[in-house]
């Protein structure tokens, strides 16, 4: 029996996150104003999506802001094919970026769309290992930082050393890209120049996101009890060395 509900209670983004985190294999039908889209989940990701004559990622971007209408979820349905390769967190991040930048198309406009191929930033293979080695050495030398990563602005992780079993590397990239996007817009809107670095304090620890160059970010995960003066000094040293590695 399918589970049904209202998008007012659980919107599309929440439905995607919930089903992917639970690693359900399922078919999700969402309908708004007589327009119906179908998403298929498998192995913790969105495998396939279809809306009228459109398939793949663009379907998710079209419907991500649906918060009115109905949904129906049926478990155990195998995706008929795979048209989406991006992770679920990457899909939500890209959708948020498109909405924020004002380039998302109107949902009700179902004119034929030429689907653009996914553009992925090239991860330099020769430098990838060099970055990983540099990060490992920097982390070993630090007494105040418990996790480090270098990521692209789209959330792709170049190299990372994070607490095993506690932090997911993919989520480090996704969260860092989201933090950067908000921070960059904020400093520009408030006439503070270009983004340089942000420090976020949490109950159980802190996060530093610092720009290495126009396309790359450094992320540091900081224990709550760490000496912040030493942390900022270490981050300056780390970013300087990583810039050389890049």
Domains of the chain: 3-101 (no CATH), 125-245 (3.30.450.30)
The CA-based dihedral angle spanning residues 243, 236, 150, 144, taken in that order and rounded to the nearest 10 degrees: 150
Q: Can you tell me the distance from the alpha carbon of 85 to that of 96, in angstroms, rounded to the nearest whole number?
A: 18
On whether the CB atoms of residues 129 and 216 are closer than 8 A, the answer is no
φ, ψ at 34 (rounded to 5°): 80, 0
What is the rounded average pLDDT for all residues in the chain? 82
Asked if 246 and 218 touch (Cβ cutoff 8 Å), the reply is no
- Residue 158 exposed, middle or buried by CB count within 10 Å (0-12, 13-18, 19+): buried
- pLDDT of 91-134, one tens digit each? 888 887 776 655 434 333 433 333 333 333 333 444 567 788 88
End-to-end CA distance of the chain: give it in Å, rounded. 53
Q: How many CB atoms lie within 10 A of CB 115?
A: 13
Using CB atoms within 10 A of its CB, is residue 98 exposed (0-12), middle (13-18) or buried (19+)? middle
pLDDT attached to residue 101: 59
Least confident of 3-17, 22-36, 89-103: 89-103
Provide CB contacts within 8 A for 210, sequence distance 6+.
Answer: 196, 197, 198, 217, 218, 220, 235, 239
- Reading the block at residue 38, the tokens are 């179908």
For the chain, the residue count is 246
Q: How many CB atoms lie within 10 A of CB 55?
A: 15
Task: Say yes or no to pLDDT of 20 above 80.
Answer: yes
User: Using 50, 70 and 90 to split pLDDT, how confident is the model at 3?
Assistant: confident
β 216-223/35-42 pair status: unpaired
Predicted confidence (pLDDT) per residue in 30-43, tens digit:
999 889 999 999 99
- The stretch 203-226 carries a mean pLDDT of 90
Contact 141, 133 (CB under 8 A): no
Tokens of 192: 């503070």
Whole-number pLDDT of residue 146 = 92
Query: Is the pTM of the predicted complex or chain greater than 0.85?
Result: no
Q: Are 18 and 44 in contact (CB under 8 A)?
A: no
The whole-angstrom separation of Cα 197 and Cα 208 is: 7
């Amino acid at each position: 029996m399918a589970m049904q509900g209202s998008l007012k209670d659980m919107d599309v983004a929440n439905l995607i996150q919930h089903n992917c985190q639970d690693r359900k294999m399922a078919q999700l039908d969402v309908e708004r104003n007589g327009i119906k889209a179908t998403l298929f989940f498998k192995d913790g990701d969105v495998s396939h999506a279809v809306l009228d004559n459109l398939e793949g990622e663009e379907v998710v971007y079209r419907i991500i802001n649906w918060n009115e209408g109905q949904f129906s979820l049926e478990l155990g349905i195998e995706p008929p094919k795979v048209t989406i390769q991006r992770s679920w967190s990457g899909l939500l991040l890209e959708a948020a970026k498109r909405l924020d930048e004002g380039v998302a198309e109107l949902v009700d406009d179902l004119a034929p769309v030429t689907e653009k191929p996914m553009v992925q930033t090239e991860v330099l293979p020769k430098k990838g290992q060099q970055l990983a080695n540099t990060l490992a050495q920097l982390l070993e030398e630090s007494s105040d930082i418990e996790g480090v990563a270098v990521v692209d602005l789209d959330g792709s992780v170049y190299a990372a050393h994070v607490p095993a079993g506690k932090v997911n590397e993919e989520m480090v990239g996704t969260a860092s890209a989201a933090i950067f996007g908000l921070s960059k817009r904020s400093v520009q809107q408030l006439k503070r120049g270009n983004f340089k670095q942000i420090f976020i304090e949490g109950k159980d620890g802190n996060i530093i996101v610092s720009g290495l160059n126009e396309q790359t970010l450094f992320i540091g995960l900081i224990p709550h009890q760490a000496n912040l003066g030493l942390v900022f000094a270490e981050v300056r040293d780390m970013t300087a060395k990583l810039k050389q590695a890049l």
